[in-house]
Amino acid sequence: MNKDLNHYKNLLIKEKDLIVSELSDLAQNKGGDAWEASAVDPVDTADREDVALNIEGYQEKDEVVRVLETQLSEVEHALSKIDSGTYGICEVSGEEIEEDRLEANPSARTCKSHINEWLQA
Ligand SMILES: [Zn+2]
């Protein structure tokens, strides 16, 4: 295996910084990898529709936070694979993951032929 691990490590660290800064805008860190969406600014009226909008706004924010959290844990997972020397190995077949796939998604867990198998797992 002659992949440039430092290159991918840099990509992953950049991605991690980006995700963490997006999370910090939307949520509060609850320790470790746990984030909780911060409250939506309340609309300045007691109108029932506005209250409903606030709840909806919070739920949407919360969904974005969950997606970012998942992305963050994928990046952390990939970084730990670099440390343990298993980075770039397909988790389904144990083959090497194509470089262009890693370039497009440095935290990819599988080679191109096993993308769907991973998603269904
Ligand atoms: Zn594979």
Q: What is the distance between the alpha carbons of residues 76 and 16, in angstroms, rounded to a whole number?
A: 8
Where do we find the tokens 């867990």?
109
Same domain, residue pair 65 and 97: no
Distance of CA 85 from the midpoint of ligand 1 (Å): 17
Distance of CA 99 from the midpoint of ligand 1 (Å): 13
Tell me which residue range forms the domain holding 101.
89-121
Same domain, residue pair 50 and 96: no
Same domain, residue pair 98 and 79: no
Same domain, residue pair 81 and 105: no
Strand, coil or helix: 47: coil
Q: What is the per-residue pLDDT for 43?
A: 62
Could you tell me if 77 and 67 are in contact, meaning their C-beta atoms sit under 8 angstroms apart? no
Q: For the chain, list residues with pLDDT below 50.
A: none
Q: What is the per-residue pLDDT for 49?
A: 79
Distance of CA 93 from the midpoint of ligand 1 (Å): 4
Q: What is the per-residue pLDDT for 55?
A: 86
Q: What is the per-residue pLDDT for 121?
A: 52
Same domain, residue pair 74 and 115: no
Same domain, residue pair 111 and 83: no
